[in-house]
Amino acid sequence: MNRRTALKQLGLSSLSLPILSQSPTLFAEANSKVSPKQRLVVMFSPNGTISEEFWPERIGEDFEHKRILKPLEPFHDKMLVLRDLHNKVKGDGDNHMRGMSCLLTGIELFPGNVMGGGNTPSGWPKGISIDREISNFFQSKESTRTRHGALHFGVGVKDTSDPWTRMSYHGPNQPVTPFADPYDAYRRLYGNVREKK
């Protein structure tokens, strides 16, 4: 795809790029009058990673960024790379259901009608996920509120909605559906932006 096609599909022209560069929300650090909002980014790789290309060898603040984490190096002082966390949540559902759905909730799944490999069908988690709890906290204050509050993106998300495919929850029995289509995500982020006069 060439640049012109990409810009067209994004709904932009080359004339709009200088305007975008003046946006205080996109380039807040360059504009001393606007403080950047705090963000929480949670990344999840469901089938593991290439260990020798991902995990730092040193622990602590001076950890090194191996090949997979290298693109995040500019955010080094704001990162936590967590390892050896063990999800000990028991109850209904199989290990994969609990692994995904309980990762950010830390609470058991309701009994339900989704059958996994654990011989006990399950439903959704019994509580809110930590990412949503943090979002609710920041959205409750004018000084930390953002336009969207939280954004959930996924890659290869199935059309079905089940405990294997959702990791964020507004509350008990309330899964958050991630954006899997980049065009939908773009429309969500910029679809209602109007030019200021």
What predicted TM-score, i.e. pTM, was given to this entire model?
0.72
pLDDT along the chain (197 residues), means of 10: 54 48 48 70 81 91 93 91 80 85 91 83 93 94 88 84 90 93 86 57
Q: What is the pLDDT of residue 154?
A: 86
Q: What is the pLDDT of residue 13?
A: 46
Query: Which tokens belong to 64?
Result: 């090194």
- Non-local CB neighbours of 75 within 8 Å, separated by 6+ positions: none
Instruction: Output the DSSP codes for the chain.
Output: --HHHHHHHTT--TTHHHHHTT-TTTSGGG-TTSPPPP-------TT---HHHHS-SS-STT----TTTGGGGGGGGG------------SSS-HHHHHHHTTTT-SPEEEEEE--TTSS-EEEESS--HHHHHHHHHHTSTTT--SSS---B-SS--SS-STTT---EEETTEEPPPB-SHHHHHHHHHTT-----
Cβ proximity of 135 and 150 under 8 Å? yes
- Non-local CB neighbours of 7 within 8 Å, separated by 6+ positions: 13, 14
Q: What is the pLDDT of residue 65?
A: 95
